[in-house]
Chain A
Amino acid sequence: MKFVVNALRRVEGDGYVTLNARIYSFLLWGLTNPRVLSPSLTLRQMIRIGVEALPMASLVALSVGFILAMQSSTELGKLGANAFIPDLVSLSLLRELGPLLIAIIVVGRSGSAVAAELGTMKVNEEIEALKVMAISPTRILVVPRYLALMIMLPILTVFGNCVGLAGGWAVCIGTLDMTSSFYITHAVQRPELWDLYSGLIKSVVFAHLIITIACYQGLGVTGGAEGVGRATTASVVYSILWIIIADAALTGLFFFVL
């Protein structure tokens, strides 16, 4: 293992694939020596890019819950199938909208912040200074952020799913004369465990994309403050692009293959 880790750390260059290789080399090394993963730095990042995104994520999830319930009630109502609204809200949240929308919020809020922060450090020669001190920027800057988001995005997604369900509940109770027990039984019984898991797998993949793209763009900044702006924009645009492509690919995989 040590051999693999050291071989990975000898890789030169600053490409996207190289960055991934470096991250994995430290994660592998961290399996035998957890100190490599800088737990305190990781915790700080979990709070900064995860916990602090909570209010915004909740607001979005709540709104999505409202929207799903209201939109579906107009059509399903015509068929007299309002009883299926809880099923629809919970399935679309768990499988699709929860992971996707929370990821997009995190791109805008945390991904861009990471790109801007690392970009500013690059412009300020801080990255260069770390390298010259034989301290790997990947290890102390990228890995803690990577781990933080890989842990926090699925948690935020589960949380967002719950808030979204609450939004749907509010609409059903308030305007559709449903009882709470009816809504909860249906919303919770209809989805299978796999529906939750498939959404979480998506959010893990999204987390990987968001943080590697943000770090790659941030560390690749050239050309001063203007470059930081460009990298921040690029990180948001590419993250959203790749998240949606990955979503399509994963949905296809889950739908047709598994």
Chain B
Amino acid sequence: MEIVEKTEREVLVLAVKGEIDLHVSPALRAVLKAKAQAKTPRLLLNFAEVAYIDSSGLATLIEYYQSARAYQGRFGLCNLGLSVRSSIELVRLTEVFSIFSNEAEALKALATS
């Protein structure tokens, strides 16, 4: 898994690349934990190059969502592939995460609030 970090319009964007499965998700978790500790106010995960996410990956996202909510940080996902979107739908988390179809839209929504 590779993560490219950039900041745009005060939103920290993490572009993730690779499949997020049981032996990758701990690495993602470490990154997100660091962001939560730094109390990143606005975080966007760009999943354009994530073909697959398993339950441990989803659990990692939920964990970040919980900690961000505690300090009123904003958190969004964008460019979800079909498989990733289906995985999120299957465990009924579409309502929980802010999901955007592309990065521009996500930046707009996250930056203004």
Direct touch of chains A and B (CB < 8 A): no
